[in-house]
A and B are shown apart, each in its own frame.
Chain A
């Protein structure tokens, strides 16, 4: 048995320890927002947070999640209460096919946690997921917008 917290809820799974966390999340826990793109930690579609750090879950053995806190796109925000990154994505109408977008939003949320006001170069160095529809142009605008939303909510609170 492996125990961890996922999106705030305690969870126990009975699964072989080397199983990629991605498949535990998608197939065992039936949360489909985290995507399979390559299974090789190359595309970033499966990016989640483990203890606040961006992690590519296709390349993360579930045994390492023991005792840790996991956040997926489902835990980032909701339709009624979107995370600032999701709000920025909505404002800029970023997604096209949408498949890679959860991974990008998770990577962006992790970036903004560490670097609330990233420069273009910071964005280029940290957001290295793959999008085939070519939404990068709007994503860059949304990342900056999310930083603004974060800044304004911090100031107001």
Chain B
């Protein structure tokens, strides 16, 4: 391999953050806040992995096909398709000539962080196009040699290089090339020349997903594979002590029962036999205390735990003192939410004497590999993690102790072992969306403009409970940047505004859930904005526009708001039992606005139509931006209207779909109209921002129909 003359920057979050955190450690609140701002910045969408060598990314076969090895995973968000579009563009190939697979860690092409946070396309925009263009130049250079012409004279089209009256395919060019020289990064195409980028290309995984091709973690197999099951506690805070395995031993199909210091599991010849034997194992758990929903609600309250002012302009505190006349207050709440992704968590592991292979759905490839390596006593490089398509991610697969457990079982029997959660375990061992409590305060001036507004909110862990982030981050940062997503006031023209985060760690795991704090924070703030607009007797949309500052972010937000208003032909008064509701948010730099058209019949709320405007900066694949927006809207309807986990005598319940009520076909709007605005020419976040406004948009419509202000999720009419 030739020597790289390019300057590619290799970054990892941990290294980078470490420096930032170190600098911040001794800082005052204002310094902490600026660190926090930095970490919450859309620029954090940058890709953090090695982009120095195109040969690690592209595999070119003699039949002239390119396989793109992706260190990011496809979990439904459609990023594989956009990645192929970007690659095809600069490689000068057709979409159909490129396939995309997940990069195994043995290729060395490893994401430094995770797939999540709506970062994939934004993060790849520059590096993947550069990698593709560089690969093209490398092919040109080798092609010119083989054609015996000067590289400056060759032309490139559809995966071929022509010069001197002859044409070679990329597949022919790569044949026999041992040493590649990596050139300077070539100039990238101008947007006006794009053939594939910006087009609604059908998903590249569409056919496989429609004909039932095995592609998910749970579909993985290896020769001689056995099945594992882990005994998991159904009580909060239960720590494994010991187990009686006498009844399970010798049950049909049982190969081995594995007792470790921290868990007990069984390996059997089939999934059914493993599950049956598991039920016969009697495990002892240490449980320190009993929790109920009321304990959790009491813990998550503004004023409890650690606090940090995450936003401060003017003197909101002074204007909004409780004894001041005209201060309007309201409280909102959101419940514990489950991920409920359809493919359960698990892994297929094969641990041999000197190496290991793991096949699974994970959002944290590097972390999973490192955890497995540590537990089974191998160097990281000896563990090959083979990522598969994810049967839903939503943040659930950012924690993967399941891989470690499968590996331990495999090591114990010396064979490949596939080990999955059952659905009850999936619900009870989830890393839940934390419950939240919000206190809003506001004051109007004589002209019906907001003089001051404050959002104080309490949440359980989101980022703080993540193995991706050093444990000390919580102590240093003060605020959990996951919980605070969407927690700041986006109306910069309000002279006095403040946001305060309160944090408490709960006795069960709470963490990343698609859009993090955005869902609940936007529900609270945008409902309250509606309350203030009504108090001021103003049109709620104009009211918002009047409070947006005049900078780039403000202008982009204004544009999506105006567009949504016009497209939906927003009417501010109810028509019988029908009304419209409006809300908007900005998440990771992407502004988004929804108009929800709602009907109330009896106590039933129905969302008939949603108009959604979103400015992701630039849509690489407009159809998939629409698909993500539709999906966010429906998932948001589900979360804000139906979903709720309870803590009942120390158990998290329900434990099955149905009792854990979610949106079904009948609950999805029959019309969803998504309008994309390419506001910057550079792609930003898409997969989460449209989850923000939906809850408030529905609640605001319900208020216009019924006069009831619904301040708790799930929205329930009295």
Known: A136-B665, A140-B670. A95 touches B211 (CB 8 A): no
Q: Which of A98-119 contact B (CB under 8 A)?
A: 98-102, 105
Known: A20-B272, A27-B270, A42-B656. A33 touches B668 (CB 8 A): no
Return B203 CB to nearest CB of chain A, in Å. Answer: 6
* B216–A99 touching, CB < 8 Å: yes
Residues of B within 8 A of A140 (CB): 665, 668, 670
- A97: contacting residue among B221, B389, B664, B666, CB under 8 A: B389
Q: Which of A1-22 contact B (CB under 8 A)?
A: 19-20
* A128–B423 touching, CB < 8 Å: no
Residues of B within 8 A of A23 (CB): 270-272
Name which of B2-10, B336-344, B408-416, B460-468 contacts chain A: B336-344
B658 at the interface (CB under 8 A from A): yes
Residues of B within 8 A of A97 (CB): 75-76, 341-343, 389-393
CA distance A156 to B654 in the complex (A): 50
Using an 8 Å CB-CB cutoff, how does the interface string of B313-345 with A read, 1 for contact, 0 for none? Answer: 000000000000000000000000001111110
Known: A93-B627, A132-B392. A74 touches B633 (CB 8 A): no
Using an 8 Å CB-CB cutoff, how does the interface string of A115-143 with B read, 1 for contact, 0 for none? Answer: 00000100111011111111111111000
Residues of B within 8 A of A35 (CB): 216, 218, 342-343, 391
- B668: contacting residue among A79, A90, A98, A136, CB under 8 A: A136
- A45: contacting residue among B77, B78, B205, B342, CB under 8 A: B342
CA distance A86 to B207 in the complex (A): 9
B669 at the interface (CB under 8 A from A): yes
Return B345 CB to nearest CB of chain A, in Å. Answer: 12
Residues of B within 8 A of A96 (CB): 76-78, 627-628, 631
CA distance A127 to B207 in the complex (A): 22
B681 at the interface (CB under 8 A from A): no
B634 at the interface (CB under 8 A from A): yes
Number of interface residues of A (CB under 8 A): 58
* B623–A33 touching, CB < 8 Å: no
B550 at the interface (CB under 8 A from A): no
Q: Assign chain B's interface to a size class.
A: 35 or more
Which chain B residue lies CB-closest to A38? Answer: B423
- A27: contacting residue among B271, B630, B658, B666, CB under 8 A: B271
- B630: contacting residue among A38, A45, A137, CB under 8 A: A137
Residues of B within 8 A of A20 (CB): 272
Residues of A within 8 A of B254 (CB): none
B672 at the interface (CB under 8 A from A): yes
A40 at the interface (CB under 8 A from B): yes
- A134: contacting residue among B202, B633, B657, CB under 8 A: B633
Which chain A residue lies CB-closest to B691? Answer: A134
A67 at the interface (CB under 8 A from B): no
* A33–B78 touching, CB < 8 Å: no
Residues of A within 8 A of B216 (CB): 32, 35, 98-99
Which chain A residue lies CB-closest to B662? Answer: A130
B212 at the interface (CB under 8 A from A): yes
CA distance A42 to B658 in the complex (A): 7
Residues of A within 8 A of B420 (CB): 36
CA distance A86 to B214 in the complex (A): 16
Would you give 20 A-B contacts (Cβ < 8 Å), ordered by A? A23-B272, A27-B271, A32-B218, A36-B420, A73-B211, A93-B202, A95-B206, A96-B76, A98-B216, A99-B216, A99-B342, A101-B210, A105-B210, A124-B665, A128-B666, A130-B340, A130-B662, A132-B342, A135-B630, A138-B630
Q: What is the interface of chain A, defined by CB distance below 8 A to chain B?
A: 19-20, 23, 27, 30-40, 42-43, 45, 72-74, 76-79, 82, 86, 89-90, 93-102, 105, 120, 123-125, 127-140
The list of the 6 closest CB pairs from A to B, nearest first, reads A33-B212, A134-B634, A97-B76, A99-B391, A98-B209, A96-B76
Q: What is the interface of chain B, defined by CB distance below 8 A to chain A?
A: 75-78, 202-203, 205-216, 218-219, 221, 227, 270-272, 339-344, 389-394, 420, 422-423, 623, 627-628, 630-635, 638, 656-658, 662-670, 672
